[in-house]
Amino acid sequence: MSTHPSSGRHAEELHADQAAGPLVARTVAVDVDSLPADLLDLLPADGGLAWLRRGDGMVAWGELLRVPTAGPERFAAAEGAWRRLVAHAVVRDEVGVPGSGPVAFGSFAFAAGSPAGGVLVVPRVVVGRRGHVAWVTTLALGGVAAPPVVVVQDPPAAPGDVDYADGSLDPTAWQDAVATAVGRIRAGELEKVVLARDVVARTAEPLDARWVLHRLSDDYPTCWTFAVDGLLGATPELLLRSEKGLVTSRVLAGTIRRTGDDEADMARAAILAHSSKDLEEHEYAVESLTHALDPFCSSTNVPETPFVLHLPNVLHLATDVTGVLRGVDGDHPTSLAIAAALHPTAAVAGTPTTAACALIGEVEGMDRARYAGPVGWMGADGDGEWGIALRSAELDPEDAHRLRLFAGCGIVAASDPRAELAESEAKLEPMRHALAAD
Ligand SMILES: C=C(O[C@@H]1C=C(C(=O)O)C=C[C@H]1O)C(=O)O
């Protein structure tokens, strides 16, 4: 994995590289049967990029360009750089599906003030699959790249024993923070806040990100498994997909742990679907999303009641919101511009947003970095997919044995700190299991 850049230098590099010539992208169709069932098998050991769900999606490697950003304008700066780059690009794409042609992968800090900022990475090679269609894209500057080597790599080595240590707040201090938040909500200062905690993992062997990615995508096929610049995870929550004028967003809020017993879980699903605490929490999240999406859309569709999303570790209340983008002939904002407007939703910040973010800054006691920020990819036409970076961990660029795991919970007036701690443990489970040896 590449290390995190210090801001200004690499942005200049982008311009210098552009001066070396335009972006040249060539996508060729490949026989879907010639690819391994798991595209992650193609990722080289020194890391790469991934965006996968149910076996479809993309893996990519080689860093052609990197656009580091920071501050309140982090999304706009990245988006502007990408638009300038593709405006002069020379593209030959014989496949023509979302994800073919030039793509950039990105990941952005939750908070505008976070030193983590954000980054767009343009890879040298992308291998993608969408149903029965598969492709390889090569990207270069100023000329056509040599055909890439696309081969199944040696499997990743296990991380060995993993030790866990408290992150910024220990469990008692975090429950105190939750209790403080409940007090503020009951006092009428705000309606909902999402509080997160971090846990630090130390692996005996240097971590091969592919080990974690394989586990996550095998265990959580309905989630979006991602890897962007040292941020790994499998998120069940899609901030948005923008495809040919249609936007889709999967909003989650309201959670119950699974028991491991199917019958008991069905009963729990029914409890969740009727829990006024969870329904209230969910409604805040759906409302904030639709409110932010509305200005971009000529029409939206918001189901009246949520469905229960079953994951191996938890059950969530979920709503899929769809909308038709305004704009003629595809002339509408890019997926990243829309993601910027939607972030942060009440699912990861709270309601109202400003008060919730202020309370997070006051009591959470940590920098979320890129956890709970948008993560995903975008193509030359601006279409793309951006998830919310949940159920995730950030690798330490300075120490291949160290990573920070994150999980958060929506807090409302009826929340109980002990139950929220248990919920956060359930949300840490995917990453803990992904790190475990066989
Ligand atoms: C904040 C997280 O999850 C969010 C909070 C949820 C909740 O409180 O019920 C459910 C899904 C996510 O929107 C996380 O996984 O870290």
Asked if 244 is an active-site residue, the reply is: no
Half-sphere exposure of 422 (CA within 13 A, CB side): 11
CA–centroid distance, 402 to ligand 1, in Å, is 24
Whether the pLDDT of residue 298 is over 50: the answer is: yes
Q: Where are the domains of the chain?
A: 7-435
CA–centroid distance, 30 to ligand 1, in Å, is 38
Band of the pLDDT at 14, cuts 50, 70, 90? low
Closest atom of ligand 1 to 255 CA is 9
What are the backbone angles phi and psi of residue 167, rounded to the nearest 5°? -85, -135
pLDDT in tens, 367-417: 999 999 999 999 999 999 999 999 999 999 999 999 999 999 999 999 999
pLDDT in tens, 84-118: 999 999 999 999 999 999 999 999 999 999 999 99
Return the best residue to mutate from 182, 226, 237 for the ligand 1 pocket (most ligand atoms within 8 A of CB). Answer: 237
Specify the amino acid at residue 230: G
User: Tokens for 114?
Assistant: 């976070």
The residue among 282, 390, 294 whose CA lies nearest residue 338 is 294
Q: Is 427 in the pocket of ligand 1 (CB under 6 A)?
A: yes
CA–CA gap between residue 415 and residue 78 (Å, rounded): 38
Closest atom of ligand 1 to 278 CA is 9
CA–CA gap between residue 98 and residue 343 (Å, rounded): 23
User: Tokens for 4?
Assistant: 């995190």
Return the best residue to mutate from 284, 315, 348 for the ligand 1 pocket (most ligand atoms within 8 A of CB). Answer: 348
Q: Is 391 in the pocket of ligand 1 (CB under 6 A)?
A: yes
Q: Is 317 in the pocket of ligand 1 (CB under 6 A)?
A: no
Which residue in the block uniquely carries the two structure tokens 């919920």? Answer: 423
Whether the pLDDT of residue 264 is over 90: the answer is: yes
Whether the pLDDT of residue 224 is over 90: the answer is: yes
Specify the amino acid at residue 315: L
pLDDT in tens, 17-38: 455 789 999 999 999 999 999 9
Mean per-residue pLDDT over the chain, rounded: 93
Catalytic residue among 237, 281, 385, 423: 237
Amino acid 330: pLDDT:
67
User: What average pLDDT does range 244-253 have in this prediction?
Assistant: 96
Asked if 237 is an active-site residue, the reply is: yes
CATH topology of domain 7-435: Anthranilate synthase (3.60.120)
Which residue in the block uniquely carries the two structure tokens 């030790």? Answer: 163
Strand 246-257, strand 238-243: pairing? antiparallel
CA–centroid distance, 296 to ligand 1, in Å, is 25
CA angle 374, 375, 381 (to 5 degrees): 95
pLDDT in tens, 179-190: 999 999 999 999
CA–centroid distance, 174 to ligand 1, in Å, is 16
CA–CA gap between residue 223 and residue 167 (Å, rounded): 25
CA–CA gap between residue 207 and residue 376 (Å, rounded): 22
Amino acid 1: pLDDT:
33
The answer, yes or no, to whether the previous bond of 352 is cis (omega within 30 of 0) is yes
Q: Is 237 in the pocket of ligand 1 (CB under 6 A)?
A: yes
Closest atom of ligand 1 to 282 CA is 9
Catalytic residue among 79, 192, 281, 427: 192
CA–centroid distance, 64 to ligand 1, in Å, is 34
Buried b (16+ CB within 10 A) or exposed e, 223-236: bbbbbbbbbbbbbb
Q: Is 408 in the pocket of ligand 1 (CB under 6 A)?
A: yes
Whether the pLDDT of residue 3 is over 70: the answer is: no
3-state per-residue secondary structure call for the chain: CCCCCCHHHHHHHHHHHHHCCCEEEEEEEECHHHCCCCHHHHCCCCCCEEEEECCEEEEEEEEEEEEEECCCCHHHHHHHHHHHHHHCCEEEECCCCECECCEEEEEECCCCCCCCCEEEEEEEEEEEEECCEEEEEEEEECCCCCCCCCCCCCCCCCCCCEEEEECCCCHHHHHHHHHHHHHHHHCCCCCEEEEEEEEEEEECCCCCHHHHHHHHHHHCCCCEEEEECCEEEEECCEEEEEECCEEEEEEEEEEEECCCCHHHHHHHHHHHHHCHHHHHHHHHHHHHHHHHHHHHEEEEECCCCCEEEECCCEEEEEEEEEEEECCCCCCCCCHHHHHHHHCCCCCCCEECHHHHHHHHHHHCCCCCCCCCCEEEEEECCCCEEEEECCCEEEEECCEEEEEEEEEEEEECCCCCHHHHHHHHHHHHHHHHHHHCCC
